[in-house]
Amino acid sequence: MKYCSICLNPDTRPNTVFPKKDICPACHYYHSTRDIDWDERLSILRELIKTFPKFRRRRFDCIIGVSGGKDSLRQALWIRDKLGLRPLLVCLAYPPEQITERGADNLSNLIKLGFDVHTVFLSPATWQKLTRESFFKFTNYMRHSEQAILSAVPRLAIRYKIPIIFWGENPGLQLGDMKTVGKTGYDGNNLKNMNTVAGGKLDWFLKAGFKRDKLFPFEYPSAKEFKDRKIQIIYLGWFWGDWSIVNNGVYSTLDGLKIRTDTLKNTADLHGVFSLDEDWITFNQMIKYFKYGFGRVSDYVNEEIRLGRISREEGIKLAEKYDASFGKKYVKNFCEYISVTEKQFWNQIYKSVNKKLFKIDKNKKIIPKFKVGEGLIK
């Protein structure tokens, strides 16, 4: 286990490769942007948009996948008001047991701000079964929903003949998932290679007994479909000099975003602005920590360290204290939803703990074998 010497990104992040001996891809990219002329980047985007055909009868110029949260709200407003485009927003609808009142309010806020929102629904019974299957197969209850939102957006772009899909950050350059890097810094057509989507195929759904005709939102379009319909995913983060978790949260709250008010101990959400549409994500980030040695707090502090808002030492203290935090009430609610006991839930977690990074003692306490910011303890 090796850490970036600038931030707290470990080389255990899926699909990451440090371009330099001790500097992670995200820090390498961030420091390469210091001398960028962002007005010039905006001009590049405007010229890029001109290369796509416009049709008078087409109601929308582009598509944005949204949840109603900080990133999607800021993107939607910027694309409409700054670029003068007409975006169609696409949202994956969670069942009543999963979506928060805050999430529903934030989605309503987008509509009140004048946007058209296309909502993708699945039958509640199918969604519940998929959630359970995702949890026990991947120890990631979101595995199916992550694939659904990433796949449904280009599916609808093809159906409605809308050539431009805007996405937020470049997960390769700005996070370190290098399999998503495209031909340019803004080319997002390799997004399907993200770790949580793994190509967007339906193999595991079908093996689990789900019928293909129930899985339309989950099957990522082929490269041929992208090419034939001239679909291009564009990473907006490549064009914004101030893209960050905190900045997006601040801008969006000014436009009506409702944020979390639960405690940091229950959410590991330093600013209350992460994945606002549902709360089970809190323990999913805890699971990520036990798999890879970093969680949500590390993702937060990495950005803050790069931006010079906190020191690496301050980041270490926050990550050590809160990366494994989760709300017990959310675990209880989730277990009730998929009809399992909390003992079954934790047994699945123990199976997925990375034994190279953690040990499980006789009392079932999960103990790290590493020191945050340094690596494995010898």
**With b meaning 16 or more CB within 10 Å and e meaning fewer, what string describes 208-246?**
eebeeeebebbbbbeeeebeebebbbbbbbbbbeebbbb
Q: Range of 320's domain?
A: 260-376
Q: Each residue of 365-375: pLDDT tens digit?
A: 999 999 999 99
Q: Is residue 22 assigned to a domain?
A: no
Q: Each residue of 114-151: pLDDT tens digit?
A: 999 999 888 888 899 999 999 999 999 999 988 888 89
Q: Is residue 247 assigned to a domain?
A: no
Q: Is residue 103 assigned to a domain?
A: yes
User: Is 204 found in the same domain as 307?
Assistant: no
What predicted TM-score, i.e. pTM, was given to this entire model? 0.91
pLDDT the model gives residue 194: 77
User: Is 134 found in the same domain as 77?
Assistant: yes
User: Is 92 found in the same domain as 167?
Assistant: yes
User: Is 221 found in the same domain as 327?
Assistant: no
pLDDT the model gives residue 121: 83
User: Is 283 found in the same domain as 138?
Assistant: no
Output the average pLDDT for the chain.
91
Report CA-CA distances (Å) from 157 to 126, 219, 230: 24, 14, 10
Residue 76's CATH number: 3.40.50
- Contact residues for 301 (Cβ-Cβ < 8 A; gap 6+): 7, 8, 270, 310, 314, 315, 318, 319
What is the number of domains present in the chain?
Answer: 2
Q: Is residue 108 assigned to a domain?
A: yes
String of DSSP letters for 201-224: --HHHHHTT--GGG-GGGSPPPHH
Q: Is residue 117 assigned to a domain?
A: yes
Q: Is residue 16 assigned to a domain?
A: no
Token couple for 83? 């670029």
Instruction: Examine the pLDDT at 178 and tell me if it is beyond 80.
Output: no
Helices (H), 11-141: 25-32, 38-50, 70-81, 101-112, 124-138
Q: Is residue 244 assigned to a domain?
A: no
